[in-house]
Amino acid sequence: MPKDYYATLGLHPEATQEEIKKAYRKLALEFHPDRNSGDKGAEERFKEVQEAYEVLRDPKKRYAYDNAGFGLSGDLGSSGSAFEDLFGDFFEDFFGRGTGRSKRAKRGADLRYDLDITLEEALHGAEKVITVPREEVCGACRGTGARDGVAYVPCGQCKGTGQIRYAQGFFAVQKPCMACRGTGRIVRERCETCHGAGHQEVIDKLTVNLPPGTYEGMRLLVEGKGQCGSNGGTRGDFYVYVKFKPHDMFVVRGLDLHADLDVHFVEAALGAQKTIPTLEGSAEIRIPQGLNKEQTLKLSGLGLALYGKPGRGDLYVHLHVLFPKKLTAEQRDLLVKLGKEFGIELPQSEGGLLGRIKGAFR
């Protein structure tokens, strides 16, 4: 059995990174060996919590874990450590932000894209091309923001490091330099292409391959296609979150599909053959003779699939018997005859249609 890291941290699989961090900190402190010396159970729990967090804290590892068994493994590159998350923030909280942890090179932000797909695409898989605006390092100034990449001097305040050190009690604290905003450079002449920003928005086209059995909420990772980093930092990643478009006919519940189908009362009474659309085309269904008002037909294996798992969900067709709101004179005649055949007493009205019928047979 694979371990359920979400359960270990008491979370649901859609938990945000912030929720994961919070849950981890609470549990890690609760079961910390320093507080539970000699307690084997607590020690075991502490290890489990640690292990779960090591995976879920890192978007790439979490992605790989979420999609484990689906054959979509991401790069398991990691950034920082659980230890830093547990204690790093405490230091920040107590001694001010950025305690010796700031780096000049900043990794670019991850980007998220919500991709709406049809149920047919989910079932069969699809290749989708999406258009994404994102930040790229400006080529004209190589990200420096200075004309031709050379029209700058090192910042005198921080001597080009981008960081200023302060003594604060027993600690030396580093903060980004205000004079150069942490870049270490004072631009003399701005780059004309990016107006000194060092980066530019570009419109990129990304091809995303959805495997057969793509499910709602699935996350696909396109590595290195997020925002560019700054000061030589690596690029962020690009995440595609899959959502289903509403379907004309089907409502999705898990892997099962549900459809409503109106059946004329004559068809309900006599039984009938009907063609209904399915995700792969169409299927024949047989309306049983003497259909009751509400009945559900199950078409096995015509639902959705789950990537990497055998089998498919089912299609449920909910039949509703429909009676016409208006009748023509002929239809009414026939129904009256039919009623008589069934021995149904119908209200008589001399001047009405029934009267005329009676007259005709006299």
Q: If binding means CB under 5 A, how many residues of this protein chain bind Zn ion? A: 12
27 or 146: CB nearest Zn ion? 146
The answer to whether 155 contacts Zn ion (rule: CB under 5 A) is yes
138 or 305: CB nearest Zn ion? 138
Q: Which residues lie closer than 8 Å to 226 by C-beta, 6 or more apart? A: 108, 109, 110, 111, 134, 235, 236, 237, 238
**Taking phi first (over 0 means left), then psi (-120 to 50 degrees means alpha), and beta for anything else, what does residue 254 get?**
left
Strand 315-322 relative to strand 256-264, pairing:
parallel
Dihedral sign of CA atoms 52, 54, 55, 58 in order: positive
Q: Comparing C-alpha atoms, which of 167, 158, 205 is closest to residue 186?
A: 158
We find the least distance from the C-beta atom of residue 231 to Zn ion, in angstroms, to be 12
Binding Zn ion (rule: CB under 5 A), the pick from 9, 27, 119, 194 is 194
d(CA 57, CA 17): 7
The answer to whether 221 contacts Zn ion (rule: CB under 5 A) is no
The structure tokens 């009405």 sit at 352
The answer to whether 193 contacts Zn ion (rule: CB under 5 A) is yes
Q: 329-341 vs 353-361: helix axis angle to the nearest 10?
A: 70
Binding Zn ion (rule: CB under 5 A), the pick from 23, 82, 177, 315 is 177
62 or 235: CB nearest Zn ion? 235
36 or 157: CB nearest Zn ion? 157
Binding Zn ion (rule: CB under 5 A), the pick from 20, 56, 119, 138 is 138
The answer to whether 141 contacts Zn ion (rule: CB under 5 A) is yes
The answer to whether 179 contacts Zn ion (rule: CB under 5 A) is yes
The answer to whether 191 contacts Zn ion (rule: CB under 5 A) is yes
Amino acid at 360: A
> What stretch of H or E contains 55?
helix 40-56
The answer to whether 257 contacts Zn ion (rule: CB under 5 A) is no
We find the least distance from the C-beta atom of residue 232 to Zn ion, in angstroms, to be 15
Burial class of residue 333 in the structure, from the number of CB atoms within 10 Å of its CB (0-12 exposed, 13-18 middle, 19+ buried)? middle
Binding Zn ion (rule: CB under 5 A), the pick from 158, 218, 306, 317 is 158
The answer to whether 302 contacts Zn ion (rule: CB under 5 A) is no
The structure tokens 């547990």 sit at 86
Residues of this chain that bind Zn ion (CB under 5 A): 138, 140-141, 155, 157-158, 177, 179-180, 191, 193-194
